[in-house]
Structure 1
Amino acid sequence: MTNIKAIPRRIITGTKDGKSYIAKDEIVTNVSEHFKGLIISDVWQTSKMPATFEQEKPIENFAIPSVIKNGTYFRYVQIPPDEQLGIEAPEGQPHPLIHQTKSLDYIIILSGEIYLITDTDKTLLQAGDIVIQTGTNHAWSNRSDENCIQLAVLIDAE
């Protein structure tokens, strides 16, 4: 992997003998780079609702995830500038990375800025902004010269 600036640290709590404790304190190892500088880490998943406290099962990182039926993903994403990815979206054409997932996504922009692009609109998002993505076509376009970091919770949806 190249150009990875920040891999998240993950702390997992547990219960032993009726007492809470820190079960794991580690740097996330489930990290992939699907495009140069586009870092994705699926930090945690659940596989049923209501969720249980069982230990995680390994998650295969996909650029466009398929959330487990009745499950969730907790995802960390570092999106580099479009220029670094070699992406251009000609005026009047769909963004080349437009996609759709079958999930309800809660997305928080932690740092940097990025455009959220839909079929008909676009808006600039900055650190602290929150997106509720309701299974629609969308793309992310980083037109700045710095990485954008997002956290997202993806929930299986119909």
Structure 2
Amino acid sequence: MSGLKIRRVVTGTSPDGKAMIASDTVLESDGIAMMPGAGFVSIWGADGPQTLPTSGEKPDYTTWFPPAAGYRVEQITIPPSSTPPTPDLDMAEAAAEMNRKLPGLLEHMDPKHPGMHRTDTIDVVYVMSGRCVVELEGGETTDLGPGDILIQNGTRHAWRVPYDEPCTVLSISVGAARNG
């Protein structure tokens, strides 16, 4: 859901060692043509271990999913499964847009099983609004609603919204090393 706005307030430590508000920013969700009705907000993250104190300046990172020892905080709105596709979608252009706005996300998706993917992350997913279904690769499903939390441990899964309204989740992804 493009256009959704959230406020991000970040604390930090001033050069003289005092706690401070380092930034107070409004972030807007970004939509993509390949997934009409979806919205993505990259809130915070880093590609490696962090040290304190910090000035509160946003760490640099360039991919949607973190590497091992990195992390990401994201708000994601998943549209209802009944949302019609973008008419006359140019798939090459849509893929380029997705790679630009959500770098690395598309390469994790299974083209033979839409939405199914696996990442080398441990994800803590909090359902903020709406309802969704997490589907595992063997077909097992679990319904999630507001206030529910899913701990997703690097398994193949897909998000489905077989309901009339979108589902918005807060996801905290911690990069992990995969042993096999």
TM-score band, normalised by shorter chain: 0.7 to 0.9
Tell me by how many angstroms 1:95 deviates.
Answer: 4.9
1:23 aligns to 2:1 (yes or no): no
1:49-79 deviations in whole A, cap 9, x for unaligned? 2455352245446xxx331332100011011
- Distance in 1 of aligned mates of 2:130 and 2:23: 29
Counterpart in 1 of 2:79? 80
CA RMSD of aligned residues (A): 2.1
Q: Which runs of 4+ in 1 moved over 4 A?
A: 58-61
Counterpart in 1 of 2:7? 9
Q: Percent identity?
A: 28
State which of 119, 141, 165 in structure 2 corresponds to 1:146. 165
More strand by share: 1
Tell me by how many angstroms 1:85 deviates.
Answer: 5.0
Q: In structure 1, list runs of 5 or more residues that go unmatched.
A: 87-93
State which of 27, 44, 56 in structure 1 corresponds to 2:58. 56
- Distance in 2 of aligned mates of 1:60 and 1:111: 28
Q: In structure 2, list runs of 5 or more residues that go unmatched.
A: 86-111
Q: Given the two structures, how large is their TM-score scaled by the length of structure 1?
A: 0.81
Tell me by how many angstroms 1:123 deviates.
Answer: 1.1
More helix by share: 2
